[in-house]
Structure 1
Amino acid sequence: MRTHACAGRRCGAGCGRPRCTGRGCRMIGRRGLLGASLAAPLLARSGTARAHAFPDRPIRYVCPFPPGATNDNVSRSMARALAPRLGVAVVVENKAGAGGAVGTRLVAESRPDGHTLLNASAGNLTIAPHLSNVGYDPLRDLAPIASAGEAYSLIAVHPAVPARSMAELVAFARRNPGVLNYGSAGIGSAGHLRGALLADEGGFEAVHVPFPGSAPAVNSVAAGDCHLIIDPIAAPLVRDGRLRALATLGPDRWDAFPDLPTLAELGIGRDWPGSGWFGLFAPAGTPAAVIQRLNRDFNDSLAEPEVAAALRRFGLRPEAITPQELGRRVAADHAAVGAALHRLRIA
């Protein structure tokens, strides 16, 4: 059996049609049909594999805070490191608002294919969901991928504040109830919770002043409009002498400020819930193979000296962990923070 699609007078391909010229004649014999039928499934599978290849287009790397915030700095460092490993552009998008909830919800509602990722911090996953209807469940709607590490923070004040130690700060605040205020990256941010915890443990009243990100918050303290901030973003201003650091908050002393005591050394904050970590997340339902690929490339990036050095400048201690370990950390912090907010009557 032979089929053809020729046209013309004489067929040079030997199809036997008197008007065939052979130009464009497609002759398929039994062997050709058999070969085509065997190849079809392979071609179909090959096309499917290409359609599901990851990544197959640029990746949106969502930072849920404004430019200049610590989250933004971490996002841009990791985006630059990931791009050559993934072979596509990794584009940071700032989607700020509601203490990080706006950008987080955008990612939670995105297509779960690994091409829209979130650079989350503890605040928008373990604090903000307890304070308002953020539109997402951090334990159900997001898939943990990797951690950029634990974050240190500085407890810093404007030089006009009459305190050169935590003891003097607490004494000043007690003598002047309701006078001391503290800026943060917004309601539900880590700085918000820590300021409330400090006031509670110190036995004084303090006014929370929320900003749409840590950059405007620290600038307000530097300008003297606010008195206090608890955030790693204060580090450059402390080095420049525009702010005075009283202590650090973290798992141990911050090597960038080795002479500053930790709050724990001063007997403060030992039982504070939640840690200051930053992590990479995807929408729930993202394929396991994609999660593993991103985890591997992210952790490999943390091992690069330039990346690790950049993260340390932003106040992080780089830490490579598994998606499962990050998921357990989020769940534990979410529960502990919820209990603390209820005790403080914030939630």
Structure 2
Amino acid sequence: MKRLVAALTALFTSALSAPVATAQEQQPYPVDTVTVVVPYSAGGTGDTVGRLVADELSKRFTADFIVENVGGASGTIGAERVARAAPDGSTLLLAGNAIITTAPHLAPVGFDPLKDLVAIANVSEAPRMLVASKSLPVSNFEEFVAYAKEHPGELNFGSVGVGSTGHIATVDMLANIGIEANHIPYSGASQVVQAVLSGDVQFMLDAAAIPQARQGAVTPLAVPGDKRFEDFPDVPTLAEAGYPSIRGTGLQMIMGPAGMPEELIALLESALEDASKTAEFTELLVRSGVTPRFLGGSDLQADLEAEYHNYDELLRKMGLKQ
């Protein structure tokens, strides 16, 4: 009995001293329930990140943050719902950057992506990689560029379809570098990977290529963005290679309807920044298949506006502008 009492006392003392998020520690929030709209079907990467963010914000505020999946039209149906919502903090959006910067150029949407939504913070990014088929006689990015320029119009690249993010990002890259290549569309990422493995297409720019690069089945050449992959320390970024304007990374960010009070935006941004510094939250993001990357609202808004106008021009040149 003495040992039991001692054990219970120790457990109770430990619980009292542990850094548990209590109601007293939670920050006040103007509404009791917040709907986090995820404009994709359940089970995907965006859905997973949205639920992680909702759980994290529920710990930090006096409101319950609940995910609702509103898919369709490349994510723009869910985005429009948030754009039309009351700007009182009761409705937020877990958005991919393509919803804001690409999709509105390809088909009509019922909202202005730059005026009807406001950026709060970026949480993570989905990495992509430029890889080459083993049938191509190159071993790095410099050799790939030299070979492609020596053989204009002879190389093929694959994507999951005309107007897809991978297609647009690859065309953007080729235009920046000055390479002529042929686009071969496929119905799924696995088919594109198989085409690269067989040599039917010579290169691709997509996240689906990363597992094959890890296995040594394809040649990793470069990654978009400004940070190398930890498990590919010798593979340069496109920015390092001299092409900082090439865009090709998928973001997962929190947005709200325009007109939200600046104080509330700052409160949410600060909470997400604090979360991005915790090992638990970042490890959960990594496990879901994304790379943690916090970016504040003003910087994110500026990036989205620049990317929106960049794709407006690019898609006009591609003949894909609606």
TM-score by length of structure 1 reads: 0.67
Counterpart of 1:341 in structure 2 is: 315
DSSP 3-state at the match of 1:139: coil
Paired with 1:91 and 1:142, the residues of 2 have a C-alpha distance of 20
Aligned length: 287
1:206 aligns with 2:182: yes
Paired with 2:231 and 2:169, the residues of 1 have a C-alpha distance of 21
Contact 1:144 1:324 in 2 (8 A): yes
Pairing 1:313-328 to 2, within 5 Å after superposition: 314-321=289-296, 323-328=297-302
Unaligned runs of 5+ in 2: 1-27
Counterpart of 2:57 in structure 1 is: 82
Which of the numbers 284, 292, 295 marks the counterpart of 2:266? Answer: 292
- Larger relative contact order (C-alpha < 8 A, sep ≥ 6)? 2
Deviations 1:76-119 (A, max 9, x none): 43233223223555344444444332332232233433232212
DSSP 3-state at the match of 1:230: strand
Counterpart of 2:254 in structure 1 is: 280
Letter in 2 for 1:220: Q
1:266 aligns with 2:241: yes
1:305 aligns with 2:283: no
Contact 1:192 1:208 in 2 (8 A): no
Unaligned runs of 5+ in 1: 1-51
Deviations 1:146-196 (A, max 9, x none): 12256643113565666543456553697584762322587363x232111
Paired with 2:281 and 2:162, the residues of 1 have a C-alpha distance of 28
Pairing 1:95-106 to 2, within 5 Å after superposition: 95-106=70-81
Counterpart of 1:41 in structure 2 is: none
Contact 2:239 2:245 in 1 (8 A): no
Letter in 1 for 2:239: A
Pairing 1:16-55 to 2, within 5 Å after superposition: 54-55=30-31
Counterpart of 2:226 in structure 1 is: 251
Pairing 1:130-209 to 2, within 5 Å after superposition: 130-149=105-124, 152-157=127-132, 164-166=139-141, 169=144, 171=147, 175=151, 177=153, 180-184=156-160, 187=163, 189=165, 191-200=166-175, 201-207=177-183, 209=185
Distance 1:152 1:172, change over 3 A: same
1:221 aligns with 2:192: yes
Deviations 1:99-147 (A, max 9, x none): 3323322322334332322122322212222232122211111122112
Letter in 1 for 2:128: S
Select between 223-232 and 142-151 the one with higher mean Cα deviation. Answer: 223-232
